[in-house]
Amino acid sequence: MMKATASATLSAMRPSSHWTGWGQWLALMTMTTDHVTRYVLPYSWDTAWAGASIGRIAMPLFAAMVAWHGLFNTRNPLRYARRILVIGLIAQLPYMLMPRPSDAFVLNICFTLAAGLAWGTLLERVIRQLETAPRPDPRGVLLVVLSFGAWYVLGNWVEYGHHGLLLIPLYMLAMHHLHRAGTSFTERFGAAMAAMPVLLVAGQMNTTDMAKSFTVGTCLCILLLAAGAARLIPGVPIKMPRRLWLAWYPAHFAAIAMIVNWPG
């Protein structure tokens, strides 16, 4: 009985995740639009604007859903990160077959998301320990220091680089404070300050003003959801099939690779 009551209380504390059902469809559509216009459609069609606008919604939206589920909806965020990593490993070969302006080796966005979630989970656990313990655990502090070294090195190899790796930990920090903030000015102000780094990093992730605007705008919408707007979002009428969600990233790259590398 007590266990059931505790579970009900925990569920009540969690924000509504209905928005992620809509987010899955939007993320796949915007990502596919970006990749099709970038790699498949002829340059003469002048569709670069689509990638610089619609396409810039995908990455911050994927990162937001990963951060949200890692923070609110899964008991084992590291196992969740491993699942994302497996998808990245499957997708890496077709990803490497995409036409690129340089031959530099880059790990696809799943590696960025998995590493960002693992890092965010580590930081969240250390912060939680600091809030409850009279003194910091030296092992936790050492892990945080080492994690910044890993961020510096890995940022040279993954898609979206150092800024991309920062996005999920900053999302998790902001979502935590926005969701738990009370009605007092101090709490609301603190939550707003926790959200600012997300927007600052998002503004550094692209080069053109249009791309920056869509990326920052997407992050701002997510932060509003974390601040309470999520409860206003109804459930999605058609839920994303799990197999489609897991397979689309590597499968769409494989299809594009066949099109762009087809002989003749």
The confidence score (pLDDT) of residue 83 equals 97
Quick one: three-class SS letters along 212-243? Answer: HHHHHHHHHHHHHHHCCHHHHCCCCCCCCCHH
State how far the Cα of 66 lies from the Cα of 73, in Å rounded to an integer: 10
Which pLDDT value is given to residue 2? 41
pLDDT score at 264: 62
The reported pLDDT for the residue numbered 3 is 46
Predicted local confidence at residue 46, as pLDDT = 86
3-state secondary structure of 158: strand
The parts of the chain modelled with pLDDT lower than 50 are 1-12
Nearest to 109 by CA among 65, 170, 75: 65
pLDDT score at 152 = 94
In single-letter form, the type of residue at position 122 comes to L
Pairwise CA distance, residues 19 & 7, whole Å: 22
Query: According to the model, what pLDDT value does residue 7 have?
Result: 43
| Per-residue confidence (pLDDT) for residue 10, from 0 to 100 | 41
